[in-house]
Structures are given as structure tokens and as C-alpha cells.
Amino acid sequence: MTDFTATRAMFHMPEDVIYLDGNSLGPLPRAAMERMQGTLRDEWGEMLITGWNRAGWMAQPRDIGDRIARLIGAEAGQVVLGDTLSIKVYQALAAALELRPDRRVILTDSGNFPSDLYMAEGLIRTLDRGHELRIVAPEEVAGAITDEVAVTLITEVDYRTGRLHDMADVTARAHAAGALTVWDLAHSAGALPVDVAGAGADFAVGCTYKYLNGGPGAPAFIYVAPRHAETAFPALSGWLGHDAPFAFEPAYRPGAGIERMRVGTPPVLAMAALEAATDVWDGVDMDDLRARSIELSEMFIKGVEAACPMLTLASPRDPAQRGSQVSFRFEEGYAAMQALIARGVIGDFRAPDIMRFGFTPLYISEAEVETAIRIVTDVMQNRLWDLPEHRTRHAVT
């Protein structure tokens, strides 16, 4: 049984804060402080250039990939870290389209994160070969997988509603239609059990600063199914994806397997924090995590719905169809979220009217969820959001 009191103690949490936004940015793992200091002082500071060998900097993207692999149902050697999620989407999509040269449709849904859509648009424009980004409603994806589709580009858990796609079902349908799949695990990895191998996913990409607590802007990851790993060609063919980066050959030769999905020099400092964050997962069973996440989310929905009829549940009511977040619609959601944040309940807002609350068992307890319900109730019943100061928009919402 996973010890969530122990994992909670591994994080730094500010006083008087109930943090229900780990789905946007995970909190600071205490070990990251010390690890980073060591990387600065003992590695960069003392080893200088020799740190690439002596401190293992060059192997980090693969080593951390091996550890994240377990959380998404992949095996060692199938995941590598680097760049941002947007870049990894581009890589996966470009490789998938090249594997389906006779097809022109990228199928996605309107619940996908906009950057995935934008990167697809940019790729389509670059290819200039008549590809189409076909955007359907989330519940229409299954029916829209026709033999025109080259690849599906789906985020498993909807960033606004928390709606969960059935990865195995969509993938099976895609394969039956001769299409490939790119899964975005931004809101899945570390949030619920994921099984890319079991589902037969072709490519998967994800981010490490949400449920994986790697720090703001932490590197992304990419998974390539072993059956494609030696044929998927990297459009972003950087030197660290070369078979022999330090031979400095004039022509590109893709590295073995997942290695070819590396691009430029890895961000060593960011990797240090992420590595420390990855340690937290060592004693965590994903089924325990999922059960606990559902308990906390159900408690929150029940409490909020009982007291706040002005909030409309935007997430699926069936917990089996949700990720690890709960969203409510409220017209004045922006102001309401600001009022909550001012009172120590940190969630976030997504336009036009979504209030999001993430439930992350690694560091959130039942007692906190109860307090959060009380504060939400107070803010909503007493219209505490209805102040000019809460309506002032910040750059980042």
C-alpha cells in the first residue's frame, strides 16, 4: 500500500495553502533543492566541461526516460526526455505522417490542448502537401476514424474538463483503419495508470511539470513504440539524435531507437530538478494513486455540488471517465478563482468559464479537500468573488 503521508513529506508546501493546481504545476520536491545545489556546485562548478562524462549529464535524458517509462507502461529504452511538449508533438506527428505517406488527415478533438493543434498547423503548413487537421468533438473521435486518417493526435485527459479518452479503444480503432496514434499524456502521466504498450499506442508525448513535479518548464518526454523505433525518422534531426554525435560527421544518421528523438544539448539544470522529482515515485503504486485520486475528487464534487448550485460540473460525473481533475463552469469563474486563491485555495481558470481543481494524492489529504470545500462554499454563497480586485486579469491565467 502506497504511503501517501510519506510522499506528502517529500514536498515543500507553503503555509496556509491548499494546492489544487498540481495539474498545472507540481510543487517543489524537497530533494530538488539539494540536488540542484549539488549540480551547480559539485558538477557544473567543479567538473566544468568534464561533467558531461563524469556527472553523467549526457545520459540523463535516457536515464530519466527509463524511470518515467514505468509510469506510462513502457519499458526502459523507449522514452527519452528533452525540449518542450510542443516540440515533442511536432516530432511525433512528423514521424507518424511520414509512416503514412498516402494519407492526409490528422484527426484531433476540440478538447485537445491548443498548442498541439498549433504545432500540427505549423507542420501542415511546412509540409504543404494538402494535409488537413480535422477537429471533431471529443465524443465523436471514435466515429471519425476513417481510412483517410493518417494519425490521431489526442490528449488522453482533456485539459479543461478532465474527460478521459479510452486509449486502448481509440488506438484499436485507429489501427483497424490503418492509422497511427500520437497520445499526449500531459494530464495522464503521474495522474493515473497509463499503459502505452498495452493500448498499442504508436507514439506518446508528455510533460513533466504537472503531475511529475519536475519544476516550471521542465523537459518533455517522448515514447516511440518499439515497432516504429528504428523506422520513425526525426524531422528535427539534431546532433544528439545522431548515431555518433561526437564523430561530427557532415551527414545525419539517426541514432538507435529512441535516441534519435533527442535533438540538441540537454538542459542539465532542469534535468537535475526533474531527477529529484522522479525519486518521489519509487514507492508509489499507480493503482493506489488512482483509487485515492477518485476518493478525493468524489468528495470534492459531492461537497461543492451540495452547497454551490451556481457551479455546474464540467467534468464527467463517472470517475472512470475522468482524469485527476475536477472542473466546474461558472460565468464569473475568473473572479471566483482569484477569490479562492486569495483565501489559499489554489486552482486555476481556463477560458471561457472553467474553474479547475486538481487532486494529487502525493501531497493532498482528505482534510485539505474538506477545508477547500468549506472555502469554496463561503466564496460562492457569499459572492466574495464580486470585487474589482478579483476581476483584474493577469498575464497568465
Applying CB under 8 A, among 10, 106, 123, 179 the residue interacting with a second copy is 123
The footprint of a second copy on residues 141-160 (CB under 8 A) is: none
Check binding of 320 to a second copy (CB under 8 A).
no
Shortest Cβ 77–a second copy spacing (Å): 17
Stretch that binds a second copy, among 26-34, 282-290, 297-305, 367-375 (CB under 8 A): 26-34
From the list 88, 292, 322, 356, the catalytic residue is 356
- Binding to a second copy by residue 365, rule CB under 8 A? no
Q: Are the C-beta atoms of residues 62 and 259 closer than 8 Å to each other? A: yes
Q: Please give the single-letter amino acid code of residue 111.
A: G
Residue 209 known to bind ligand: yes
Task: Check residue 46 for interaction with a second copy (CB under 8 A).
Answer: yes
Q: Tell me the window of 140-148, 247-255, 364-372, 377-385 that interacts with a second copy (CB under 8 A).
A: 247-255
Told to check if 93 binds a second copy by CB under 8 A, we report no
309 binds a second copy (CB under 8 A): no
| Residue 209 annotated among the catalytic residues of the structure | yes
- Cα 291–Cα 295–Cα 301 angle in degrees, nearest 5: 140
Residue 187 annotated as lining a ligand binding site: yes
- 184 is known to lie in a ligand binding site: yes
Catalytic one of 210, 260, 262, 292: 210
Q: Is 243 a catalytic residue?
A: no
- The residue written with cell numbers 476513417 in the block is 146
Number of Cβ atoms within 10 Å of the Cβ of 56? 14
Has 126 been labeled as part of a binding site? no
Is 223 a residue of the active site? no
Which residue matches cell numbers 522529482?
277
Q: What are the distances in angstroms from CA 43 to CA 60, 83, 271, 279?
A: 14, 22, 13, 19
Residue 246 annotated in active site:
no
Nearest-angstrom CA–CA distance, 235 and 95: 7
- The answer to whether residues 300 and 120 touch, using CB atoms and an 8 Å cutoff, is no
Choose one: 51-59, 71-79, 308-316, 368-376; the region binding a second copy (CB under 8 A): 51-59
As a whole number of angstroms, the distance between CA 303 and CA 153 comes to 35
Catalytic residue at 322?
A: no
Take residue 18 and report the three cell numbers written for it: 491548499
Position of cell 494546492? 19
User: Which residues does the annotation mark as catalytic?
Assistant: 113, 184, 209-210, 356
